[in-house]
Amino acid sequence: MKYPHSWRTNGELLRGDALSRVVLSSAGARWNDVVVEQRHSSRFELADVMHKQHVIGINIGPSTTWEFKKAGRFRRFFKARGGICFFPSHQPFSCRPNVEKGVIVNVLFLALDPVFVSRIAEGLEFDADRIELIEQRRGTDSTLHHIAMALLAGVQTGVALDRMRRLCRNLR
């Protein structure tokens, strides 16, 4: 099966449409290796999506129930505020929030270029070829949440833009 890649040439993580809109994005910041994107959505479904980047999704809105499809079967997961999902690059998945009409899903996405992640692993003296990234859905991770919110605040204020560009350049 041919999967549509979700990374767009304009830097957005997912296609823009009436059901999902970008509230804030670092795409214009030219960070290259990291994209931060906040999206508001109502009812939608991502069917057979495969990201080119490693993608972390953090629920920054109200608690919701999501359905994720694996092995041909949908399973429900409760996502409290701060709940995290991780989707490794080039691994297909399907998901949909199970929300009432009028409820807005507020998700913060962090997309990391796989080559960037490998460079960081090597910088930490890990063998990047032996690291396996596994799709996950779980409760909060305070460290990851703190980093994501700092990146979001940096995009909102513009303060982190130059520092992030320098960091990405230095890690190359």
For 64-89, how does the pLDDT look when each residue is reduced to its tens digit (9 = 90+)?
A: 888 888 778 888 988 889 999 999 99
pLDDT of residue 5: 39
pLDDT at 6 over 50: no
Structure tokens at 24: 């804030």
Dihedral sign (CA 85, 82, 116, 165): positive
- Terminal C-alpha separation, the chain: 34
Helix (H) / strand (E) containing 22: strand 20-25
Largest CA distance in the chain: 49
- The structure's pTM equals 0.79
Measured distance CA(152)–CA(146) in Å, rounded: 10
pLDDT tens for each residue of 40-60? 887 777 788 888 999 999 999
Distance CA 28, CA 10 (A): 9
Render pLDDT for 144-156 as a digit per residue (tens, 0 to 9).
Answer: 888 888 888 888 8
Average pLDDT of the chain? 79
Distance of CA 101 to the CA centre of its chain: 24
Minimum mean pLDDT range among 23-32, 147-156, 158-167? 158-167
pLDDT for residue 19 is more than 70: no
